[in-house]
């Protein structure tokens, strides 16, 4: 390995943020509700719609209750950190810019193997899909690269590039450790110290404790509130929060094993109806602003 | 005339490997058709590709099309001066450039317009965007806004050279030029454009990596194809993993390496056992510090740890205790859950005469669908169940049946090896076929989402190759569907001629091993001297009976038989009839073939439509008996003579 001192987890995050800030991105903070992926934050889901340019980068803690392993599996997490970059429209040299970001965090590409392997992204819950790759570094997936095509069922005016870095994997690679819990987050603090309790306690909650009846009740309440808010065509952001709540509750119910395969499609459809409603209102407002 | 070479390179972001060869073939054909249609001469001499470029070479293009003339017909000469001037104006000619032509309808004005051939470069420039964007990809995207073109991935550069000159055109803001782009990391010397060279490099270097180490790599043409088309400069490396992981089932290790990491598995050359090594193929030229090898080993270790984690977690609940959980796993929305399927499979296994082991295997067969291992590695369904059943102390016939019950997975795959696994595999596939047909999910055209053709092919192969004489009792649409697949199997897989298959199937289907035995006998007897002429006579008999609308194979009145050929034929019929009462079809067919002289003489000398109705009916009865009696193995009237 190279002789340079290992970058701490937070160094890598900071370097990526400055790299993308230098390329014209707004550096946003994570969205403050539970989301399953950086894509679900409004900074992606809503901003990719409509004819206005946008460039943003942010870290998004992403909760996937079913992926929890009580902190026992060295590579699987209930909540992992994604660094999400949206470049709208996608520049022609987007891949070169992306490869530059790897160099910026200390990967000498001349000494490594990079492959772009077909991996199209789709979220039935969001009515969204895109075309792209998983980027493989020495056989490990480090980034999902997607050209967004549709969001909330709407064709996108400007095709954005979405780069999603899996931070734990990337840093485990840079620090050459086999377990994400051994990552050094900051001098004197490991990932285990920062996050282990989080993983353990929420695995217990997600798999064992969460009350299914309550979750369904909450799902119904948030769904009803979302539809109520959609009737007022002026505050799609508020309706979107209710959509995210429903999406997270769906994931929780799923990890409790409370959704049968036959029900699944129906529940996904309920969340999607909210998402599509929000996207339509947001999109109409964006289009109107540009023509006005 | 001077001819020119043409070179086209479409530079793109990484195209999915499995789409590249079909796209190249399409481009080659479409471009050749374009050359021909535009009479500019030339042949496409080569197409090639890497993930980032499709390349086409053509030779012998003319710089210009030939000049031609186009005839524009005008008004009749009798139409007068005004019409003539109007025609001249319309064609842009002067009146003295116009000519007349005498046609069957009278004399007409015409104008022969000279059409100068156009420059090939101009024609190409106009046509190339359409030719390139016309490549039919399985899934396309837009990248330059939603009004922009659609292609498989963004087009980033275009090279188009006719001779030394750039053919100008543009797609989505990219203009053609003479500059290509190199490898993303290695630059201009880092691209091996020829797929064949990349393939050869991988194969050669893998050999070198394992040489002298007592290792060998299991050939895997599909994986090799993938690696050839996801690299521009492939270089294999040999990596290792710790021996402790070899305790995990080989199937799991291979699947992780093959499907998740695109690695070749490595075996001990001496024993064939999996060795603690793998071959990864990089898209770069070297790994001097071993960083790439180290990274791949790290990833594989994590993957294997995951698999071990799944394995350990899965063992906490035995397969037998998971069966009830199948109520929550949908087989098909209209058909129901895997628990229901399991119950039907158990009943069907019993019905097929399956023993206790086979019935136990049917109970456990689908339980692995609830395991973490199968959720992670879906390709290993069945295999994981079998391995877990073994681990959990099920008897060998049980776990083997579970392990193999998805077989055969393809035409090349073998059928399951044991009696129990064959019955279980049959029950699974038959159940799928029956239930899907029952709710109207039969395949249509190229659509076969439930892989029912493969299921049917599996059923047929297990019955024939496993020699299981299950009465063929399916009814309705499923029966027709299966007969269609039976025809396909015997013709395309077993190589029987279509008339042989028709002849045998026309005599009915008792069970499939019987069909196979009859076909084999028919193929053996066919080249013998008497067989085809006799088959022709049988066709004649069938026609005679059809014309007479006669189908009575009742008793023959011996007294009415005319002495000579007719009585002889009857004697022969009685003689042969005794020898064909056997399930050994070849001697039976050979015996039937010996009827030929008697049948020939009968048709030579005897008039079937005798004046006397009693005699006529008796003769028809004789023929009908002959046909019915000897058509049980094959309906010879279906045989089409070979050399006429």
Q: What pLDDT does B482 receive?
A: 95
Q: Which residues in chain B are contacts of A157 at CB distance < 8 A?
A: 145-146
Give first-to-last CA distance, chain A, whole Å. 57
Q: Does A52 touch chain B (CB under 8 A)?
A: no
> Is the same domain home to A201 and A225?
no
> Is the same domain home to A88 and A232?
no
The verdict on a CB contact (< 8 Å) between B146 and A116 is no
> Is the same domain home to A255 and A123?
no
What is the percentage of chain B residues whose pLDDT exceeds 90?
67
Determine the distance from the C-alpha atom of residue B99 to the mean position of all C-alpha atoms in its chain, rounded to a whole number: 60
Q: Which residues in chain A are contacts of B142 at CB distance < 8 A?
A: 149, 159
d(CA A288, CA B407): 59
Question: B12 with B153: CB under 8 angstroms?
Answer: yes
d(CA B66, CA B112): 16
> Is the same domain home to A129 and A255?
no
Residue A77 belongs to some domain of the structure: yes
Residue A1 belongs to some domain of the structure: no
> Is the same domain home to B56 and B106?
no
The verdict on a CB contact (< 8 Å) between A112 and B231 is no
Q: Residue B138 — φ and ψ, nearest 5°?
A: -65, -30
> Is the same domain home to A215 and A89?
no
Q: Which residues in chain B are contacts of A138 at CB distance < 8 A?
A: 291-292, 294-296, 298-299
Task: Render pLDDT for B494-522 as a digit per residue (tens, 0 to 9).
Answer: 999 999 999 999 999 999 999 999 999 99
Q: What pLDDT does B644 receive?
A: 47
Nearest by CB to A112, from B148, B292, B298: name it.
B292
d(CA A144, CA A133): 6
d(CA A192, CA A74): 10
Say if residue A4's pLDDT is above 60: no
Instruction: Tell me the average pLDDT across A262-275.
Output: 88
Say if residue A262's pLDDT is above 70: no
Q: In whole angstroms, how far apart are CA B132 and each of A204, B40, B143?
A: 55, 19, 16
Q: Which residues in chain B are contacts of A263 at CB distance < 8 A?
A: none
Task: Render pLDDT for B142-191 as a digit per residue (tens, 0 to 9).
Answer: 999 888 999 999 999 999 999 999 999 999 999 999 999 999 999 999 99
Asked if the ipTM is above 0.85, the reply is yes
**What is the band of B133 on the pLDDT scale with cuts at 50, 70, 90?**
very high
SS3 of residue A122 by DSSP: strand
Q: How many domains would you assign to chain A?
A: 2
SS3 of residue B111 by DSSP: strand
> Is the same domain home to A221 and A189?
no
d(CA B307, CA A261): 24
d(CA B23, CA A216): 49
Q: What pLDDT does A5 receive?
A: 63
Question: A102 with A19: CB under 8 angstroms?
Answer: no
> CA B296, B302, B304: angle at the middle one, nearest 5?
100
CATH for A48: 3.30.930.10
Query: Can you state the percent helix, strand and coil of chain B, rounding each to 5?
Result: 50, 15, 30
> Is the same domain home to B146 and B57?
yes
> Is the same domain home to A113 and A178?
yes
**What is the band of A127 on the pLDDT scale with cuts at 50, 70, 90?**
very high
d(CA B194, CA B212): 30
**What is the band of A292 on the pLDDT scale with cuts at 50, 70, 90?**
low
Say if residue A3's pLDDT is above 50: no
- H or E element: which one contains A254? helix A236-255
Question: A25 with A84: CB under 8 angstroms?
Answer: no
> Is the same domain home to A111 and A167?
yes
Nearest by CB to B330, from A90, A158, A261: name it.
A261
> Is the same domain home to A122 and A199?
yes
Say if residue B356's pLDDT is above 80: yes
Task: Render pLDDT for B461-470 as a digit per residue (tens, 0 to 9).
Answer: 999 999 999 9
> Is the same domain home to B31 and B144?
yes
> CA B160, B161, B166: angle at the middle one, nearest 5?
85
The verdict on a CB contact (< 8 Å) between B295 and A117 is no
Q: In whole angstroms, how far apart are CA B299 and each of A174, B224, B296, B305?
A: 13, 21, 5, 10
d(CA A50, CA B382): 48
Q: Which residue of B has its CA nearest to A120?
A: B139
Task: Render pLDDT for B42-84 as a digit per residue (tens, 0 to 9).
Answer: 999 999 999 999 999 999 999 999 888 888 888 998 888 888 8
**What is the band of A206 on the pLDDT scale with cuts at 50, 70, 90?**
very high
**What is the band of A172 on the pLDDT scale with cuts at 50, 70, 90?**
very high
Q: What pLDDT does B613 receive?
A: 87
> Is the same domain home to B290 and B343?
no
Q: Which residue of A has its CA nearest to B332?
A: A262
Cα-Cα-Cα-Cα dihedral sign, residues A34, A35, A38, A43: negative
| Two tokens, residue A141 | 């997936």
Residue B430 belongs to some domain of the structure: yes
> Is the same domain home to B60 and B151?
yes
- A and B: number of Cβ contacts within 8 A: 112
The verdict on a CB contact (< 8 Å) between B291 and A1 is yes
- Chain B interface test: which of A138, A142, A182 (most B C-beta within 10 Å): A138
- Tally DSSP H helices, then E strands, for chain B: 23, 18
The more confidently predicted of residues B393 and B608 is B393
**Strand-strand pairing, A121-123 and A128-137:** antiparallel
> Is the same domain home to A72 and A174?
yes
The residues with which B57 forms a beta bridge, in sequence order, are: B7, B46
Q: Does A4 touch chain B (CB under 8 A)?
A: no
Q: How many domains would you assign to chain B?
A: 5
The verdict on a CB contact (< 8 Å) between B295 and A110 is no
Residue B313: CA atoms inside 13 Å, Cβ hemisphere, count?
18
Q: What's the whole-model pTM score?
A: 0.81
Question: Does the N-terminal peptide bond of residue A89 adopt cis geometry, omega within 30 degrees of 0?
Answer: yes
- H or E element: which one contains A266? helix A261-291
> Is the same domain home to B532 and B481?
no
> Is the same domain home to A113 and A257?
no
Q: Which residues in chain B are contacts of A74 at CB distance < 8 A?
A: 302, 305
Task: Render pLDDT for B2-52 as a digit per residue (tens, 0 to 9).
Answer: 899 999 999 999 999 999 999 999 999 999 999 999 989 999 999 999 999
In this structure, of A98-102, B410-414, B575-579, the range with the lowest mean pLDDT score is: B575-579
User: Roughly what angle, to the nearest 10 degrees, separates helices B356-364 and B383-391?
Assistant: 110
d(CA B376, CA B570): 71
Q: Which residues in chain B are contacts of A154 at CB distance < 8 A?
A: none
CATH for B556: 1.10.730
Nearest by CB to A90, from B143, B288, B294: name it.
B143
The verdict on a CB contact (< 8 Å) between B141 and A149 is yes
Count of Cβ atoms closer than 10 Å to residue B86 Cβ: 13
d(CA B487, CA B489): 5
Q: In whole angstroms, how far apart are CA B564 and each of A54, B462, B605?
A: 102, 51, 9
Q: What pLDDT does B337 receive?
A: 87
Instruction: Tell me the average pLDDT across B111-134.
Output: 94
Nearest by CB to A158, from B145, B184, B299: name it.
B145
Q: Which residue of B has its CA nearest to A119?
A: B16
> Is the same domain home to B529 and B630?
yes
Inter-residue long-range contacts of B177-184, CB under 8 Å, 24+ positions, other chains counted: B180/B9, B180/B11, B180/B53, B181/B11, B181/B52, B181/B156, B181/B157, B183/B232, B183/B233, B183/B284, B184/A95, B184/A99, B184/A114, B184/B52, B184/B232
Residue A179 belongs to some domain of the structure: yes
Where is the domain boundary, A154, A173, A205?
A205
Pick from B505, B356, B365, B340: nearest CA to B426: B365
The verdict on a CB contact (< 8 Å) between B154 and A147 is yes
Question: A88 with A158: CB under 8 angstroms?
Answer: yes
Q: Which residues in chain A are contacts of B292 at CB distance < 8 A?
A: 111-113, 138
Residue A4 belongs to some domain of the structure: no
Q: What pLDDT does A2 receive?
A: 43
CATH for B475: 1.10.3210
Residue A138 belongs to some domain of the structure: yes
Calculate the average pLDDT of chain B: 92
Q: Give whichever of A267-271, B229-233, B589-593 has the largest mean pLDDT.
A: B229-233
Residue B626 belongs to some domain of the structure: yes
Instruction: Tell me the average pLDDT across B236-263.
Output: 94
* Residue ranges making up the domain that contains B224: 195-315
The residue to which tokens 């549709």 are assigned:
A150
The verdict on a CB contact (< 8 Å) between A116 and B287 is no
SS3 of residue A145 by DSSP: strand
> Is the same domain home to B469 and B554?
no
Q: What pLDDT does B443 receive?
A: 87
Residue B381 belongs to some domain of the structure: yes
Question: B391 with B368: CB under 8 angstroms?
Answer: no
> Is the same domain home to B598 and B556?
yes
Torsion angle defined by CA atoms of residues B594, B596, B597 and B602, in that order, rounded to the nearest 10 degrees: 130
Burial class (CB in 10 A: 0-12, 13-18, 19+), B226: middle
Residue B475 belongs to some domain of the structure: yes
Q: What pLDDT does B97 receive?
A: 87
Q: Does A114 touch chain B (CB under 8 A)?
A: yes
- Chain A interface test: which of B175, B242, B295, B332 (most A C-beta within 10 Å): B295
> Is the same domain home to A28 and A136?
yes
Report the phi/psi class of residue B290: left, alpha or beta, with left for phi > 0 and alpha for psi in -120 to 50: left
Say if residue B353's pLDDT is above 90: yes
Where is the domain boundary, A205, A225, A241?
A205
SS3 of residue A154 by DSSP: strand
**What is the band of B529 on the pLDDT scale with cuts at 50, 70, 90?**
confident
Pick from B58, B12, B66: nearest CA to B39: B66
Q: What pLDDT does A86 receive?
A: 98
> Is the same domain home to B106 and B129?
no
> Is the same domain home to B256 and B387?
no
Q: Which residues in chain B are contacts of A183 at CB distance < 8 A?
A: none
Where is the domain boundary, A178, A205, A232?
A205
| Two tokens, residue B153 | 């991935």
The verdict on a CB contact (< 8 Å) between B295 and A138 is yes
Residue B190 belongs to some domain of the structure: no
Residue B185 belongs to some domain of the structure: no
Nearest by CB to A157, from B17, B146, B302: name it.
B146
The verdict on a CB contact (< 8 Å) between B291 and A112 is yes
Task: Assign 3-class secondary structure to B546-598.
Answer: HHCCCCCCCCCCHHHCCCCHHHHHHHHHHHHHHHCCCCCHHHHHHHHHCCHHH
The more confidently predicted of residues B441 and B13 is B13
d(CA B641, CA B644): 6
Q: Which residues in chain A are contacts of B245 at CB distance < 8 A?
A: none
* Residue ranges making up the domain that contains A229: 211-291
Q: Which residues in chain B are contacts of A147 at CB distance < 8 A?
A: 141, 143, 154
d(CA B489, CA B408): 14
Residue B507 belongs to some domain of the structure: no
Cα-Cα-Cα-Cα dihedral sign, residues A194, A199, A204, A210: positive
Q: Does A30 touch chain B (CB under 8 A)?
A: no
Q: Does A158 touch chain B (CB under 8 A)?
A: yes
Q: Does A89 touch chain B (CB under 8 A)?
A: yes
> Is the same domain home to B278 and B384?
no
Residue A52 belongs to some domain of the structure: yes
Where is the domain boundary, B461, B495, B529?
B495
For the stretch A178-212, what's the b/e string if a residue is b when 16 or more beta carbons lie within 10 angstroms of its beta carbon? ebbbebbbeeeebbbeebeeebbebbebbbeebee
Q: Which residue of B has its CA nearest to A131?
A: B141
- Chain B interface test: which of A139, A156, A169, A290 (most B C-beta within 10 Å): A139
The set of residues, in sequence order, having a beta carbon less than 8 Å from that of B272 and lying 6+ positions away, is none
Q: Does A213 touch chain B (CB under 8 A)?
A: no
- Chain A interface test: which of B17, B153, B155, B226 (most A C-beta within 10 Å): B153
CATH for A281: 1.20.58.180
Task: Render pLDDT for B361-398 as a digit per residue (tens, 0 to 9).
Answer: 999 999 999 999 998 888 899 999 999 999 999 999 99
User: Roughly what angle, to the nearest 10 degrees, separates helices B531-547 and B613-629?
Assistant: 130
């Amino acid at each position: 390995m190279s002789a340079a001192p290992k970058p701490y987890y937070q160094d890598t995050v900071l370097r990526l943020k400055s790299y993308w800030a230098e390329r014209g991105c707004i550096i946003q903070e994570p969205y403050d509700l539970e989301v399953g992926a950086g894509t679900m934050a409004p900074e992606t889901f809503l901003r990719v719609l409509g004819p206005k340019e946008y460039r943003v980068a942010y870290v998004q803690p992403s909760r996937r209750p079913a992926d929890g392993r009580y902190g026992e599996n060295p590579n699987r997490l209930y909540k992992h950190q994604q660094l999400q970059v949206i470049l709208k429209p996608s520049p022609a040299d987007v891949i070169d810019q992306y490869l530059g970001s790897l160099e910026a965090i200390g990967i000498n590409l001349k000494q490594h193997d990079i492959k772009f392997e077909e991996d199209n992204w789709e979220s039935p819950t969001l009515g969204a899909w895109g075309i792209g790759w998983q980027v493989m570094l020495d056989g490990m997936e480090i980034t999902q690269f997607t050209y967004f095509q549709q969001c909330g069922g709407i064709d996108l005016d400007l095709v954005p590039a979405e780069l999603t870095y899996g931070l734990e994997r990337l840093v485990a690679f840079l620090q050459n450790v086999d377990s994400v819990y051994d990552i050094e987050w900051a001098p004197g603090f490991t990932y285990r110290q920062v996050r282990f309790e989080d993983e353990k306690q929420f695995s217990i909650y997600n798999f064992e404790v969460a009350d299914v009846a309550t979750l369904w009740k909450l799902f119904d309440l948030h769904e009803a509130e979302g539809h109520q808010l959609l009737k007022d065509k002026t505050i799609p952001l508020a309706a979107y929060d209710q959509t995210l709540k429903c999406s997270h509750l769906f994931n929780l119910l799923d990890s409790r094993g409370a959704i049968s395969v036959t029900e699944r499609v129906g529940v996904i459809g309920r969340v999607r109806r909210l998402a599509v409603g929000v996207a339509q209102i947001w999109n109409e407002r964006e289009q109107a602003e540009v023509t006005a | 005339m001077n001819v020119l070479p043409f070179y086209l390179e479409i530079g793109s972001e990484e195209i999915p490997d499995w789409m590249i060869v079909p796209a190249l073939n399409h481009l080659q054909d479409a471009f050749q058709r374009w050359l021909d249609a535009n009479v500019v001469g030339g042949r496409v001499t080569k197409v090639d590709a890497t993930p980032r470029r499709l390349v086409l070479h053509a030779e012998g293009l003319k710089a210009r099309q030939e000049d031609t003339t186009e005839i524009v017909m005008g008004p009749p000469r009798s139409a007068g001066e005004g019409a003539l001037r109007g025609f001249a104006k319309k064609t842009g000619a002067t009146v003295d450039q116009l000519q007349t032509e005498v046609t069957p309808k009278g004399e007409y004005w015409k104008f022969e317009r000279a059409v100068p051939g156009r420059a090939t470069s101009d024609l190409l420039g106009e046509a190339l965007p359409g030719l390139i964007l016309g490549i039919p990809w399985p899934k396309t995207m837009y990248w330059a806004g939603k009004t922009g073109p659609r292609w498989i991935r963004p087009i980033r550069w275009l090279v188009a050279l006719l001779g030394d000159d750039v053919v100008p055109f543009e797609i989505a803001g990219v203009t053609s030029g003479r500059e290509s782009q190199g490898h993303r990391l290695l630059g201009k010397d880092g691209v091996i454009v020829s797929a064949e060279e990349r393939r050869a490099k991988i194969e050669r270097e893998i050999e070198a990596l394992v040489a002298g180490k007592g290792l060998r790599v299991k050939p895997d043409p599909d994986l090799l194809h993938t690696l050839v088309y996801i690299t521009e400069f492939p270089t294999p490396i040999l990596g290792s993993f710790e021996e402790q992981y070899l305790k995990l089932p080989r199937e799991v290790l291979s699947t992780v390496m093959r499907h998740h990491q695109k690695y070749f598995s490595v075996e001990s050359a001496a024993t064939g056992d999996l060795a603690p090594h793998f071959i990864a193929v990089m898209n770069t030229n070297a790994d001097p510090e071993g960083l790439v090898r180290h990274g791949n080993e790290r990833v594989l270790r994590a993957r294997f740890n995951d698999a071990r984690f799944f394995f350990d977690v899965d063992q906490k609940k035995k397969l037998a205790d998971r069966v009830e959980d199948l109520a929550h796993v949908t087989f098909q929305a209209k058909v129901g859950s895997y628990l229901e399927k399991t119950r039907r499979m158990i009943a069907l296994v019993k019905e097929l005469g399956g023993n206790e082991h086979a019935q136990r295997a049917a109970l456990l067969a689908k339980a692995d669908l609830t395991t973490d291992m199968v959720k992670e590695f879906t390709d290993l369904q069945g295999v994981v169940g079998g391995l877990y059943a073994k681990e959990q102390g099920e008897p060998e016939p049980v776990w083997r049946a579970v392990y193999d019950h998805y077989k055969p997975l393809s035409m090349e795959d073998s059928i399951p090896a044991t009696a129990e696994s064959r019955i279980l595999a049959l029950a699974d596939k038959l159940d799928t076929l029956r239930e899907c047909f029952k709710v109207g999910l039969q395949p249509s055209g190229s659509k076969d989402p439930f892989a029912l053709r493969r299921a049917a092919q599996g059923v047929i192969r297990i019955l024939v190759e496993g020699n299981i004489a299950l009465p063929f009792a399916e009814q309705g649409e499923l029966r027709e569907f299966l007969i269609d697949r039976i025809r396909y199997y015997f013709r395309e897989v077993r190589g029987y001629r279509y008339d042989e298959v028709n002849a045998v199937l026309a005599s009915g289907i008792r069970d499939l091993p019987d069909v196979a035995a009859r076909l084999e006998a028919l193929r053996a007897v066919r080249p013998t001297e008497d067989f085809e002429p006799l088959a022709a006579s049988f066709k004649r008999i069938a026609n005679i009976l059809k014309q007479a609308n006669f189908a009575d194979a009742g008793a023959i009145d011996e007294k009415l038989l005319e002495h000579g050929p007719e009585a002889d034929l009857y004697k022969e019929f009685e003689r042969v009839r005794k020898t064909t009462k056997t399930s050994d079809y070849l001697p039976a067919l050979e015996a039937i073939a010996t009827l030929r002289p008697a049948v020939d003489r009968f048709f030579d000398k005897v008039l079937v439509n005798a004046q006397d109705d009693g005699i006529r009916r008796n003769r028809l009865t004789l023929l009908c008996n002959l046909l019915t009696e000897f058509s049980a193995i094959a309906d010879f009237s279906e045989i089409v003579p070979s050399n006429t």
